[in-house]
A and B are shown apart, each in its own frame.
Chain A
């Protein structure tokens, strides 16, 4: 036989109570926001009806409206935290995790920001709707199991245990029937609680989750932001390459041409000097080549082009003055599409450079794997930790560049280390 008094059922009743309280708080908020003007008008009408002069009544109404206007931002700013809490609790208690549906918004805005959110973000208006509905419906229905359990235990069964509690009065209220009715009420409440929680979760995810268009709007916002950043980054990169070529190889070739010309002029009268100039030109050409090589390495590393990501990172590890343990499944991460390979490579290369520069680590671990359509790279080190994307522009930069591929960067780096940074990029094999 199933036991009605399972601890999770008892817990569910308590959770129903908490959610009902939250729902009623939300309802209160809605009433403050929507009811202010109605109340002010009602009061002024009532006052003028009861012998006040119209001007006096209007004055009271105006004062009421002013007070309401002052309360409004405070009430509005409570909406989002309350909705966020409802989402979190729904995920934890109702097995219905809900993603935050809000649009990203510009920083600042101050006091009127919550009002602006109501104006600009449909999700904020849906929050308000949720509070009205949940306050009327959830606030009442969720209390049913609580009332049933309390009534069953205290009023019915309690009255047979404690003489202070008067027995419920109904026809034929014998001790036996009271005990049976009490047990039935309690059991009904305990059985109903989890079921109601689930129903509440379903309602919450319908109203609090991202609506179809909200999801699209979020996506559009994300795409246009990352596109702008990608275009900017691309343009900056091209400018850097242009400058490098201009100041490097191009300048060296000009110098070489001049040196060769001078050597040509000198070759008859001073072969020795001409020879020295020719050697100088040769050295310059070697330097130009070296600079071009570095430039190419920065644009697209040769091993990456030759063999793909795992081997390129292996080559990177060999070039780093740090003991790096590399694990990867070359089969699994066989050739990915070139842009993803390149983005992942440069992310890792920058992370490794960070480790050598800042972490004071003696060794590092790099793991490359693919989980379904997700490329997952972990870079860990035994250094001093304390890496913070909010502080260093380097990590932010990596994050921004990954965002163009819907990639994300996760950093755990407590002071004292160790640091573990995970890069995840959605990928499809090319």
Chain B
């Protein structure tokens, strides 16, 4: 798998490169600003681009804007956006296209390399990886509306993991229950929230995120 990294802090750029390489990925370019990212994406056509939100020269949301531009230039290009903080506003913008292959994670998540690499692979495969903090804030915002309160605590947990973009198998592993139990929970969630059930993992995630107003 070929990856492009855009991160301005040398330590993090280097650390990320080594982590990806250690998991058998190739880092074809590691750049430090948005413009370089766009040209690297043009030249390398990577399987995934990993981008920091805040990049030089403005140190505002330069990276995010470059990521959105890259998606426009190359529809479907999988992009994983990393940041010191997560904002629902930015999550919305990333998800706005309604297509998969989008990740938005706190930088802290690189602490857990197994989980992080799993997220990279998921995004590269066209899936979604939303940070648990984004999801918990989405859920908090939606609790007042009523329909979420119909869910059992267990179902809420499944819903949160599903919204992060995890497959049934991953959810089962995470919650230490069987995949069949997860499937039962998801069916119940979809019924309670009046969503169209789907066997396609990715479409399912996007439906849930859309329901939560992301």
Q: Do A and B come from one complex?
A: yes
Contacts of B87 in A (CB 8 A): 302-303, 315, 318
Contacts of A270 in B (CB 8 A): none
| A319 to B138 CA separation, bound complex (whole angstroms) | 8
Q: Verify A293–B89 contact, CB threshold 8 A.
A: no
Stretch of B29-37, B140-148, B179-187 contacting A (4+ beta carbons < 8 Å): B140-148
Within residues 89 to 131 of chain B, which ones have a CB less than 8 A from any CB in chain A?
89-90, 92, 106-108, 111-112
Q: Verify A319–B108 contact, CB threshold 8 A.
A: no
Q: Verify B141–A320 contact, CB threshold 8 A.
A: yes
Q: Verify B141–A306 contact, CB threshold 8 A.
A: no
Q: Verify A322–B88 contact, CB threshold 8 A.
A: no
Contacts of A322 in B (CB 8 A): 144
Contacts of B53 in A (CB 8 A): 306
Contact with A along B129-166 (1 / 0, CB 8 A): 00000000100111110000000000000000000000
| A286 to B105 CA separation, bound complex (whole angstroms) | 13
- Dominant secondary structure at the A interface: helix
User: Which residue of B is nearest A314, CB measured?
Assistant: B89
Q: Is B10 engaged at the interface, CB distance under 8 Å to the other chain?
A: no
User: Which residue of A is nearest B59, CB measured?
Assistant: A305
Specify which of A285, A307, A314, A320 is in contact with B61 (CB 8 Å cutoff): A307
Within residues 49 to 93 of chain B, which ones have a CB less than 8 A from any CB in chain A?
53-54, 60-61, 84-85, 87-90, 92
Q: Verify B61–A318 contact, CB threshold 8 A.
A: no
How near does chain B come to A276, taking the closest CB pair, in angstroms?
Answer: 15
Contact with B along A210-238 (1 / 0, CB 8 A): 00000000000000000000000000000
- Dominant secondary structure at the B interface: helix
Q: Verify A282–B144 contact, CB threshold 8 A.
A: no
Contacts of A290 in B (CB 8 A): 108
Q: Is A321 engaged at the interface, CB distance under 8 Å to the other chain?
A: yes
Q: Verify A305–B60 contact, CB threshold 8 A.
A: yes
Q: Is A246 engaged at the interface, CB distance under 8 Å to the other chain?
A: no
Interface pairs (23), CB distance under 8 Å: A285-B108, A285-B111, A289-B84, A289-B108, A293-B84, A296-B85, A297-B85, A302-B84, A302-B85, A303-B87, A306-B54, A306-B61, A314-B89, A315-B87, A315-B89, A318-B89, A318-B92, A318-B141, A319-B88, A321-B141, A321-B142, A321-B144, A322-B144
Which residues of B are at the interface with A, using a C-beta cutoff of 8 A? 53-54, 60-61, 84-85, 87-90, 92, 106-108, 111-112, 137, 140-144
